[in-house]
Amino acid sequence: MKRKNLLGGERQKLLQAHYAGAIPGDLLASEMRRFTRELAEADVEIEAAGVNTVELAAILDAALRAVTNCEAA
């Protein structure tokens, strides 16, 4: 999430510089494509982290159930 916030801030600064006439249109377009690509990559990483968290929680639940019933076994 930190990466997405950082990219969003950079994108805003780039737009402000473009509006002020400091950034030509071709550079703006190139950088906007980079931001789009990097934001998509960040979304994939965030989604993967969520899946890993769900899997980890399931494994932890199974381990805790096994330990709880350990003396019965």
Asked if 17 and 23 touch (Cβ cutoff 8 Å), the reply is: yes
Q: What is the pLDDT of residue 32?
A: 94
pTM for the full predicted model = 0.66
- How many Å apart are CA 23 and CA 15, to the nearest integer? 8
Q: What is the pLDDT of residue 71?
A: 72
Domain assignments of the chain as residue spans, ordered by start: 2-68
Mean pLDDT for the chain overall: 89
Model confidence over 43-72: pLDDT tens digits?
Answer: 998 888 877 787 888 888 888 888 887 776
Q: What is the pLDDT of residue 33?
A: 96
Residue 73 pLDDT grade (very low, low, confident, very high; cuts 50, 70, 90): low
DSSP letter string, 38-59: HHHHHHHHHHHHHHHHHHHHHH
Nearest to 32 by CA among 56, 58, 14: 14
Asked if 31 and 70 touch (Cβ cutoff 8 Å), the reply is: no
